[in-house]
């Protein structure tokens, strides 16, 4: 591990040293688990941390808050340039781990993740071999231009056109209206040399009397800037969209195209193409064009653990150092704020969630990679529907709940949590876009529930009937079939037999989550059926009226996915040589997460008297007991994330906890304090102070 060793010569905070002495499990063993038991990953991370903490600029993340937009961006380009050294030393994996270790976001993340996901999914092998190395080596810098100022969620509604010109064998890209202006395009405002433009593909067809036929949105590679002078090319208007809530080290851009010609070969043609005669060869699955977005959502799902772990680390270390009020006047010291149960209630559910999200993200990324291999091999889309549904719901749940967790951790630090020097406001401001970007969190869960309803339909109708036999019942939705086939009595018996305590067994908790999700899916299906049997045929309106329940249903399914992932990993770890003490604390974290979700969604679990009020009451009262069980291990648990100080950028959460001296030093040395008399004072305020009434 990086932290203990690197900071061993620093002044120790006695509170943190005491907390570390209470650990009941092996921190390094848990850290290895959080690195997927891959010592190579750990070593690369440690090398990157060393590089970052020794870099004159990157080692001082707190200085970001003192810079103008231009200075922030200049700093970001410097930090971006360092990734080349990282990749030379460690290859592609070094890039991912570099991003996970940086305090700040950098524009290269678009080329390396957003553009890369799309290009690797949509480009043909020939295009990959010819072009991708240039993006990997940053000779080209890519971006992804799908959203327009008038359309984001509704991809089918985008207005940019791409017309095939048979005479010259070219495509012509055009922005026909103001609302067709590409907007929000990450990395495009100042940096990108290329972008993947999504445009309505128009081809004149003899079968359509020579009129243009629209084949829907397709991806086209466009060079935006000259490689020698970095100026926009002919017909291209491009710029930065302006200041944002956060993510300001990135240049989100706008783009307008004035009849820009590109070669026919610039259509990304893994799944579809236009031949020189203007004939369109369609994909095996109509939505393979969206595969790139699933890839970025997979990154965001994995990244929720990365960001939430930073917030809980800062909040827990600070909460074991900060003291307020004596419990008894005779006490020598005031009470550590972590000892207040409402302080624990602000932080510990999200500590448990951090671990839950790690295991869920780990599982999803394996499933995503398996799906992409199948899709690329022979456009085998068997797994695509399930992956799209799960990525939509999980990305929505995990990003929103991570944002909530970062904010809860900020609140737990009191006034100091509102200082940029706590490291939390910047983390939060840079993170919250994840609920909008790559698919809005009110929109995507509908895709999940639509899929769940199709599985319920398949399960409940006779398999020989018209049910969609292409639809495979994937592993993550097998519970729908099981719940449907298990008589209610059996399941009910399963829970009722449980004595109060055993309802806390992970098997029982998992079963509660399965049944909860099944009941919600069934309820929506029944509501739609009821509306239709009452003669209402306006399906879009019925669906819109049910939006809230639909999104909640997706959330329940995804929370089950998280619980199942966490529990499966614990069972796997306990079957190999993981020490029992680590397993015990992981089970406590799983139980804390489950009971917290149950406590905040009581109605779901009471829906069909599946559990009795006495059991719910018992669960409600058990949360505080889990907090107490976890209490001795709180600092060791966040130490197991092994986050270096330059990653946290926090005066409140550093490894050795020198909170007050760091906070005062950063405050007193900031440039704003260089001059006692602030700019503007003499001309605006001094006359008032000196005025005579």
Ligand X SMILES: CCCCCCCCCCCCC/C=C/C(=O)SCCNC(=O)CCNC(=O)[C@H](O)C(C)(C)COP(=O)(O)OP(=O)(O)OC[C@H]1O[C@@H](n2cnc3c(N)ncnc32)[C@H](O)[C@@H]1OP(=O)(O)O
Ligand Y SMILES: Cc1cc2nc3c(=O)[nH]c(=O)nc-3n(C[C@H](O)[C@H](O)[C@H](O)COP(=O)(O)OP(=O)(O)OC[C@H]3O[C@@H](n4cnc5c(N)ncnc54)[C@H](O)[C@@H]3O)c2cc1C
Can you give the three-state secondary structure of 507-537, one letter per residue?
HHHHHHHHHHHHHHHHHHHHHHHHHHHCCCC
252 binds, among ligand Y, ligand X, none (CB under 5 to 8 A by kind): ligand Y
Tokens of 225: 């800037």
CA–CA dist 296, 303 (Å, integer): 10
Nearer residue to ligand Y within complex by CB, 12 or 450: 450
Burial of 331 (C-beta count, 10 Å sphere; 0-12/13-18/19+): exposed
144 binds ligand Y (CB under 6 A): yes
With CB under 6 A as the contact rule, the residue among 28, 100, 379, 442 that binds ligand Y is 442
185 binds ligand Y (CB under 6 A): yes
180 binds ligand Y (CB under 6 A): no
- Piece of the chain touching ligand X by CB under 6 A; list 297-305, 315-323, 457-465, 563-571: 297-305
Q: How many CA within 13 A on the CB side of residue 242?
A: 0
- Piece of the chain touching ligand X by CB under 6 A; list 151-159, 228-236, 627-635, 649-657: 151-159
287 binds ligand X (CB under 6 A): yes
With CB under 6 A as the contact rule, the residue among 104, 159, 172, 438 that binds ligand X is 438
Nearer residue to ligand Y within complex by CB, 86 or 432: 432
Closest CA to 240 of 194, 203, 169, 187: 187
Residues within the annotated binding site? 147, 186
DSSP string, 206-219: GGGTT-EEEEEEEE
Q: Which of 438, 483, 489, 683 is catalytic?
A: 438
223 binds ligand Y (CB under 6 A): no
Distance in Å, CB of 116 to ligand Y, minimum: 12
With contact defined as beta carbons under 8 Å apart, do 439 and 378 qualify?
Answer: no
96 binds ligand X (CB under 6 A): yes
CA–CA dist 691, 693 (Å, integer): 6
299 binds, among ligand X, ligand Y, none (CB under 5 to 8 A by kind): ligand X
Residues 6+ apart with CB under 8 A from 293: 117, 118, 438, 439
Nearer residue to ligand X within complex by CB, 188 or 570: 188
CA–CA dist 303, 100 (Å, integer): 8
83 binds ligand X (CB under 6 A): no
290 binds ligand X (CB under 6 A): yes
273 binds, among ligand X, ligand Y, none (CB under 5 to 8 A by kind): none
CA–CA dist 491, 644 (Å, integer): 47
Judged by DSSP in three states, 499 sits in coil
Nearer residue to ligand Y within complex by CB, 139 or 154: 154
Distance in Å, CB of 339 to ligand X, minimum: 35
CA–CA dist 123, 370 (Å, integer): 18
DSSP string, 584-634: HHHHHHHHHHHHHHHHT-HHHHHTTSSS-HHHHHHHHHHHHHHHHHHGGGH
Nearer residue to ligand X within complex by CB, 109 or 644: 109
Residues within the annotated binding site for FAD? 147, 186
Alpha helices in 64-214 (DSSP H): 69-90, 92-101, 108-109, 116-122, 125-136
Residues 186-205 that bind ligand Y (CB under 6 A): 186
The two most distant CA atoms of the chain are separated, in Å, by 94
Nearer residue to ligand Y within complex by CB, 232 or 246: 246
With CB under 6 A as the contact rule, the residue among 119, 140, 144, 596 that binds ligand X is 144
CA–CA dist 144, 120 (Å, integer): 12
What would the x/- binding string for ligand X be over residues 298 to 317, using CB under 6 A?
-xx--x--x-----------
Identify whether 438 is a catalytic site residue.
yes
Distance in Å, CB of 317 to ligand Y, minimum: 29
Tell me the CA distances in angstroms from 15 to 289, 314, 482, 566, 656, one per residue in order.
54, 15, 50, 31, 10
Distance in Å, CB of 32 to ligand Y, minimum: 34
How many residues sit close enough to ligand Y to count as binding (CB under 6 A)?
21
With CB under 6 A as the contact rule, the residue among 100, 345, 379, 625 that binds ligand X is 100
453 binds ligand Y (CB under 6 A): no
Residues 65-124 that bind ligand Y (CB under 6 A): 114
Can you give the three-state secondary structure of 19-62, one letter per residue?
HHHCCCCCHHHHHHHCCCCCHHHHHHHHHHHHHHHHCCCCCCHH
406 binds ligand X (CB under 6 A): no
Distance in Å, CB of 82 to ligand X, minimum: 15
Burial of 646 (C-beta count, 10 Å sphere; 0-12/13-18/19+): buried
Q: Which residues pair with 257 in a beta bridge?
A: 236
Pairing assessment for the beta strands 161-165 and 194-204 based on DSSP bridges: parallel
Can you say whether the dihedral through the CA atoms of 103, 104, 107, 113 is positive or negative? positive
Nearer residue to ligand X within complex by CB, 216 or 232: 216
Residues 6+ apart with CB under 8 A from 643: 3, 309, 310, 313
113 binds, among ligand X, ligand Y, none (CB under 5 to 8 A by kind): ligand X
Distance in Å, CB of 381 to ligand X, minimum: 8
451 binds ligand Y (CB under 6 A): no
625 binds ligand Y (CB under 6 A): no
442 binds, among ligand Y, ligand X, none (CB under 5 to 8 A by kind): ligand Y
Nearer residue to ligand Y within complex by CB, 131 or 191: 191
156 binds ligand X (CB under 6 A): yes
With contact defined as beta carbons under 8 Å apart, do 444 and 396 qualify?
Answer: yes
Nearer residue to ligand X within complex by CB, 16 or 289: 289
Alpha helices in 162-222 (DSSP H): none
CA–CA dist 398, 302 (Å, integer): 9
Nearer residue to ligand X within complex by CB, 16 or 44: 44
547 binds, among ligand X, ligand Y, none (CB under 5 to 8 A by kind): ligand Y
179 binds ligand Y (CB under 6 A): no
297 binds ligand Y (CB under 6 A): no
With CB under 6 A as the contact rule, the residue among 61, 107, 152, 349 that binds ligand Y is 152
185 binds, among ligand X, ligand Y, none (CB under 5 to 8 A by kind): ligand Y
With CB under 6 A as the contact rule, the residue among 54, 137, 154, 529 that binds ligand X is 154
379 binds ligand X (CB under 6 A): no
Question: Which residues sit at the interface with ligand Y, rule CB under 6 A?
Answer: 114, 144-147, 152-153, 184-186, 247, 252, 433, 436-440, 442-443, 547
Where in the sequence numbering do the catalytic residues fall? 438
Question: Which residues sit at the interface with ligand X, rule CB under 6 A?
Answer: 96, 99-100, 109, 113-114, 144, 146-147, 153-156, 186, 287, 290, 293-294, 296, 299-300, 303, 306, 384-385, 388, 437-439, 443, 447, 450
């Amino acid at each position: 591990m990086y932290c203990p060793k690197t900071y061993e010569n620093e002044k120790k905070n006695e509170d943190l040293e005491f907390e570390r002495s209470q650990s009941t499990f092996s921190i390094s063993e848990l850290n290895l688990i959080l690195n997927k038991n891959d010592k190579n990953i750990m070593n690369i991370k440690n090398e990157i941390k060393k590089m970052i903490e020794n870099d004159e600029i990157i080692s001082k993340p707190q200085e970001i808050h003192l810079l103008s937009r231009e200075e922030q961006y200049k700093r970001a380009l410097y930090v971006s340039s360092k990734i080349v050294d990282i990749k030379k030393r460690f290859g592609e994996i070094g890039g991912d781990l570099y991003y996970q270790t940086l305090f700040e976001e950098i524009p290269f993340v678009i080329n390396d993740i957003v553009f890369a996901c799309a290009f690797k999914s949509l480009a043909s092998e020939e295009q990959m071999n010819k072009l991708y190395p240039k993006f990997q080596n940053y000779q080209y810098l890519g971006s992804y231009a799908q959203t327009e100022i008038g359309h984001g969620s509704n991809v089918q509604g985008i207005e940019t056109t791409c017309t095939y010109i048979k005479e010259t064998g070219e495509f012509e890209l055009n922005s026909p209206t103001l609302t067709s202006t590409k907007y929000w395009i990450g990395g495009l405002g100042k940096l990108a040399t290329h972008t993947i433009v999504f445009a309505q593909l128009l081809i004149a067809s003899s079968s359509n009397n020579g009129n243009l036929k629209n084949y829907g949105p397709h991806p086209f590679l466009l060079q935006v800037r000259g490689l020698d002078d970095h100026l926009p090319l002919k017909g291209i208007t491009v710029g930065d969209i302006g200041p944002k809530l956060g993510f300001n080290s990135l240049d989100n851009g706008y783009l307008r195209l004035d009849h820009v010609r590109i070669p026919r070969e610039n259509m990304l043609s893994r799944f579809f193409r236009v031949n020189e005669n203007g004939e369109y060869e369609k994909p095996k699955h109509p939505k393979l064009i969206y595969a790139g977005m699933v890839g970025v959502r997979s990154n965001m799902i994995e990244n929720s653990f990365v960001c939430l772990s930073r917030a809980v680390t800062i909040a827990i270390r600070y909460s074991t150092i900060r003291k307020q009020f004596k419990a008894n006047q005779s006490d020598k010291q005031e009470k550590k704020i972590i000892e207040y149960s409402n302080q624990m209630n602000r932080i510990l559910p999200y500590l448990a969630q951090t671990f839950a999200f790690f295991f869920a993200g780990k599982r999803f990324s394996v499933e995503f990679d398996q799906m992409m291999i199948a899709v690329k091999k022979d456009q085998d889309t068997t797994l695509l529907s399930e992956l799209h549904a799960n990525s939509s719901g999980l990305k929505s749940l995990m990003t929103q709940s991570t944002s909530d967790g970062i904010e809860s951790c900020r609140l737990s630090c009191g006034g100091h949590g509102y200082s940029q020097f706590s490291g939390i406001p910047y983390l939060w401001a840079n993170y919250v876009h994840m609920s909008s970007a790559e698919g809005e969190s009110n929109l995507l869960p509908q895709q999940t529930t639509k899929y769940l309803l199709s599985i319920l339909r398949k399960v409940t109708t006779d398999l020989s009937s018209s049910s969609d036999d292409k639809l495979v019942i994937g592993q993550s939705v097998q519970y729908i079939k099981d719940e449907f086939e298990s008589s209610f009595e059996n399941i009910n018996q399963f829970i009722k037999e449980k004595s109060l305590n055993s309802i806390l067994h992970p098997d029982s908790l998992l079963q509660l989550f399965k049944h909860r999700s099944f009941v919600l899916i069934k309820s929506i299906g029944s509501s739609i059926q009821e509306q239709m049997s009452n003669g209402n045929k306006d399906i879009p309106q019925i669906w819109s009226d049910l939006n809230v329940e639909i999104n909640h249903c997706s959330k329940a399914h995804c929370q089950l996915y998280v619980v199942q992932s966490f529990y499966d990993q614990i069972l796997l770890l306990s079957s190999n040589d993981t020490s029992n003490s680590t397993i015990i604390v992981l089970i406590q974290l799983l139980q804390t997460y489950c009971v917290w979700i149950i406590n905040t969604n009581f109605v779901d679990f009471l829906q069909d008297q599946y559990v009795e009020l006495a059991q719910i009451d018992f669960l409600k009262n058990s949360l505080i007991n889990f907090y107490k069980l976890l209490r001795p291990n709180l600092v060791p648990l966040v130490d197991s994330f092994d986050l270096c100080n330059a990653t946290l950028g926090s005066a409140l959460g550093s490894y050795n906890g020198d909170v007050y001296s760091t906070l005062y030093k950063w405050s007193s040395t900031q440039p704003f304090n260089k001059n006692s008399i602030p700019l503007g004072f003499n001309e605006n305020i001094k006359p008032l102070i000196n005025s005579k009434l």
